[in-house]
Structure 1
Amino acid sequence: MVDTPTYDATRNRVEAYFDRTATRTWERLTSDAPVSGIRQTVREGRDRMRDIMLSRLPNDLNGRRVLDAGCGTGAMSEALAERGADVVAIDISPQLIDIATKRLPDHLAARVTFASGDMLSDDLGQFDHVLAMDSMIYYEAPDLGRAIARLAGRTRRSIVFTVAPRTPFLMAFFALGKVFPRADRSPTMIPHVPARIAQETTRTGAAGAVHEVERVSRGFYISTCLEYTA
C-alpha cells in the first residue's frame, strides 16, 4: 500500500489546492483564453508533454483500457478517447472533474468514465496503460516508487508519468518554497533524478523497469517523462 504519512499529507495538500484555490486558474490555463507570458510557456510546455506521452501509446487504442491518473480538465482523456480507448479519468478535485465532463465532446462521452478520488485506488480495476501527467510531481521518491509498483500490479503494458527534474532552476524554487512558505502557495514540486525513481520502484519488488523518455523545458514549465514497462 502507498498510504504513508507523507503520501497522505501530500495528497491532502494537492486536493485542497486544486479544489479550493486553483480551479479557476487551471480552467483558464487549459483553455484557449489569453494568459500571461509566463502561463503561456506553461501551456505550451504541457501541450508538448502531452504529445510526448501520447506518442508512447499506439495510435489505435480500440479495445484497450487506459487510466488518465490526475486528468485535470480532461485534455489527455479526450485525446485517448479519440484513439478509441476506454478511458477512466480520475482526479482528486471534483471541481476539475466537473470542468472535464463539460468539455468532453458528446461523441466521446461513451468512451470516458470520470471519477474524483485517489488515482491509486484499487477499485478502479485493471488497465492496459496508465498515463499520469504532472500528477505525481509533488511526492517524495519512496512514495513514487510505491505508487508506480501499486499501479504496475494492475497494468498490463505501460505506465507513462512525469516528474520534476533535478535542475538548478527547480532546486532554487524548491529551496525558496522551504524558506518562504505560504498558506496559499501551490504544493511544492519535488525535483527528482530519474535513476532514484527507478531504484525506489525496483526496491518495492516490481518486476518491470523505469526509464527516461524525454524532458520538456519551456519557460516556467520543466518536466521529465518517464515510462515503466514490465
Structure 2
Amino acid sequence: MPAYDQTRARIEDYFDRTATKTWERLTSDAPVSRIRETVRAGRDRMRALMLSRLPEDLRGARILDAGCGAGPATIEMAQRGAQVVAVDISPQLIDIAKRRLPTDLHKQVQFRAGDMFDPELGQFDAIIAMDSMIYYTADDIGTHLAALESRVSGPIVFTVAPRTPALMAMWYAGKAFPRSDRSPVMIPHAHPALARAAKDKGVRSTLRPVDRVTSGFYISEAMELRA
C-alpha cells in the first residue's frame, strides 16, 4: 500500500521532527494559547466520548490504543482494569506516554513504537483510534477496518475529520500550498462514503456515526464499527 506507507512516513516525520514539544504541552496541564486551549478541551471531550463506548469495567479485556500519542486514553483504560497495547508511530510520543504512566499500571500496558495496524499485535476485545486515522483516504481506512475486523471481538471506535465546508476549504488550501514544515493534511470524510468504502473492502459489520465534537479549532467525528 504505497499511498498508506507514504502518508505514515510523513506523519512519523512530522511528530518526531516538528510537533513533539507541542503535543507534550497540549496533552498536559501546562499553559497553552487560547487557540490550543480549545483544541485541548475538544480532545478531552472526544476522548471521554470514545471511552464511553466501552464498558466501565474492563478487567480481563485486551484493548488496542491505536495512535496512543502521549497516552491519556491508555491510562484511563488501564485504570478501568484493561490490558492495553499502546501503539504510536512516534517513538518520542511513546517515551512521553511511558513517563506519564503511573507505576501501579506498568504491568497492564505494553508500549510499541510502529505501525498501529501491525497484525503481529494480535487479537483484541476492542480498538480505539483517536485522531490517528484522520490523514488517510477512505480506501486506506476501509482496507484497515477490514483487516482489523477479524482481530477484534468488540467495537472499533475511531475518529475522522468530518466533511464540513470549513475543513474542505482547509483541505484544498493545503493541497494548493504545500509546505515542508506543515502538518500532514487531514482528509475530510462523510459517513455514507466512508461506509461504502468499508463495505467495498469487505467489512461485514455496520459502520455508524457516534457523535461530533466541535471546540474552536478542533472538530472531529467519532465512528464505530460494531457487529
Q: Equivalents in 2 of 1:213, 1:176: separation in Å?
A: 28
Amino acid at match of 2:85: V
User: CA offset at residue 228 of structure 1?
Assistant: 0.2
Instruction: Look up the SS of the partner of 2:154 in the other structure.
Output: strand
Structure 1 length as normaliser, TM-score?
Answer: 0.97
Amino acid at match of 2:56: N
Q: Gaps (5+ residues) in structure 1?
A: none
Q: Equivalents in 2 of 1:193, 1:6: separation in Å?
A: 20
Alignment of 1:47-58 (within 5 A): 47-58=44-55
1:211 aligned residue: 208
Q: Equivalents in 2 of 1:205, 1:188: separation in Å?
A: 27
Alignment of 1:73-222 (within 5 A): 73-222=70-219
Amino acid at match of 1:143: D
2:22 aligned residue: 25
Q: Equivalents in 1 of 2:115, 2:193: separation in Å?
A: 24
User: CA offset at residue 48 of structure 1?
Assistant: 0.2
Instruction: Look up the SS of the partner of 1:199 in the other structure.
Output: helix
User: CA offset at residue 206 of structure 1?
Assistant: 1.9
User: CA offset at residue 104 of structure 1?
Assistant: 0.4
Instruction: Look up the SS of the partner of 1:134 in the other structure.
Output: coil
Q: Gaps (5+ residues) in structure 2?
A: none
Q: Equivalents in 1 of 2:35, 2:168: separation in Å?
A: 19
- Asked if the contact 2:39/2:215 (under 8 Å) is kept, the reply is yes
Cα RMSD of the aligned pairs, angstroms, is 0.6
Amino acid at match of 1:103: R
Which of structure 1's runs of 4+ aligned residues deviate more than 2 A? none
Q: How far does the alpha carbon of each residue in 1:47-105 deviate from its partner, in whole angstroms, 9 at most, with x for none?
A: 00000000000000000100000000000100100110000000000000000000001
Amino acid at match of 2:63: V
Equivalent residue pairs, number = 227
Q: Equivalents in 2 of 1:157, 1:207: separation in Å?
A: 13
Whether 2:215 is the aligned partner of 1:224: answer: no
Instruction: Look up the SS of the partner of 1:139 in the other structure.
Output: coil
Q: Equivalents in 1 of 2:202, 2:162: separation in Å?
A: 24
Q: Equivalents in 2 of 1:163, 1:207: separation in Å?
A: 20
User: CA offset at residue 198 of structure 1?
Assistant: 1.1
Instruction: Look up the SS of the partner of 2:13 in the other structure.
Output: helix
Q: Equivalents in 2 of 1:39, 1:47: separation in Å?
A: 12
Moved more, 195-204 or 83-92: 195-204
- Asked if the contact 2:142/2:203 (under 8 Å) is kept, the reply is no
Structure 2 length as normaliser, TM-score?
Answer: 0.99
2:56 aligned residue: 59
Whether 2:1 is the aligned partner of 1:7: answer: no
Amino acid at match of 1:180: F
User: CA offset at residue 180 of structure 1?
Assistant: 1.3
Moved more, 176-185 or 71-80: 176-185
User: CA offset at residue 126 of structure 1?
Assistant: 0.1
